[in-house]
């Protein structure tokens, strides 16, 4: 019996080993390489996607547990050719360095801002605990997030 789920708005059915990490399904079967395979143990955040509206590491989600779930990757976050407010803020603040961590950062911060529209600096830092940037560009990332708070720049 195939595993059926929604991926970036499209219904898909997968007849594969249920223990396969979602990350590998995204990258190897669907060419969605925005989620990065880095630590594979949930610590780096580079593979973060949205599952049923929550930002979670796709490396730790076996496909067999995702029956009926709604999966959104960074490629499906907005319509093609458009950016969401987090992506736009990253460009506006010249945040991006090597880019390895940024899809995960975008996915984490998008849901974070949905639930916490007016965060302070510490709250942004706490939200990013599971997203590691080895270029250590954290402060500008946080500045970018604070610039798009619903109450504006601090």
Q: Which two tokens stand for residue 51?
A: 């599952």
Backbone angles phi, psi at 139, to 5 degrees: -65, -40
Q: Which helix (H) or strand (E) holds 3?
A: strand 3-7
Q: Does 48 bind another protein (CB under 8 A)?
A: yes
Q: Does 103 bind another protein (CB under 8 A)?
A: no
Site for another protein in 59-88 (CB under 8 A): 59-62, 64-65, 67
- The four Cα atoms 103, 145, 124, 36 give a dihedral, to 10 degrees, of 10
Q: Does 98 bind another protein (CB under 8 A)?
A: no
Distance from C-alpha of 79 to C-alpha of 99, rounded to nearest angstrom: 21
The bridge status of strand 54-57 relative to strand 48-51 is antiparallel
Per CB under 8 A, the list member of 38, 95, 124, 132 interacting with another protein is 132
Site for another protein in 27-46 (CB under 8 A): 40-43, 45
Q: Does 136 bind another protein (CB under 8 A)?
A: no
Q: Does 138 bind another protein (CB under 8 A)?
A: no
Site residues, another protein (CB under 8 A): 1-3, 15-19, 21, 40-43, 45, 48, 54-57, 59-62, 64-65, 67, 108, 126-127, 129-130, 132
């Amino acid at each position: 019996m195939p595993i059926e789920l929604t991926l970036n708005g499209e219904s898909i059915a997968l007849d594969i080993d249920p223990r396969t990490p979602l990350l590998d399904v995204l990258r190897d079967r669907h060419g969605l390489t925005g989620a990065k395979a880095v630590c594979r143990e949930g610590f780096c955040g580079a593979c973060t996607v949205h599952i049923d509206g929550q930002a979670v590491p796709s490396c730790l989600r076996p496909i067999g547990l995702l029956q009926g779930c709604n999966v959104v990757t960074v490629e499906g976050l907005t319509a093609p050719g458009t950016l969401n407010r987090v992506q736009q803020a990253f460009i506006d603040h010249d945040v991006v360095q090597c880019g390895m961590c940024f899809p995960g950062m975008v996915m984490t911060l998008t849901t974070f801002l949905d639930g916490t529209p007016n965060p302070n600096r510490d709250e942004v830092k706490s939200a990013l605990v599971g997203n590691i940037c080895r270029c250590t560009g954290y402060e500008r990332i946080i500045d970018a997030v604070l610039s798009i708070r619903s109450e504006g720049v601090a």
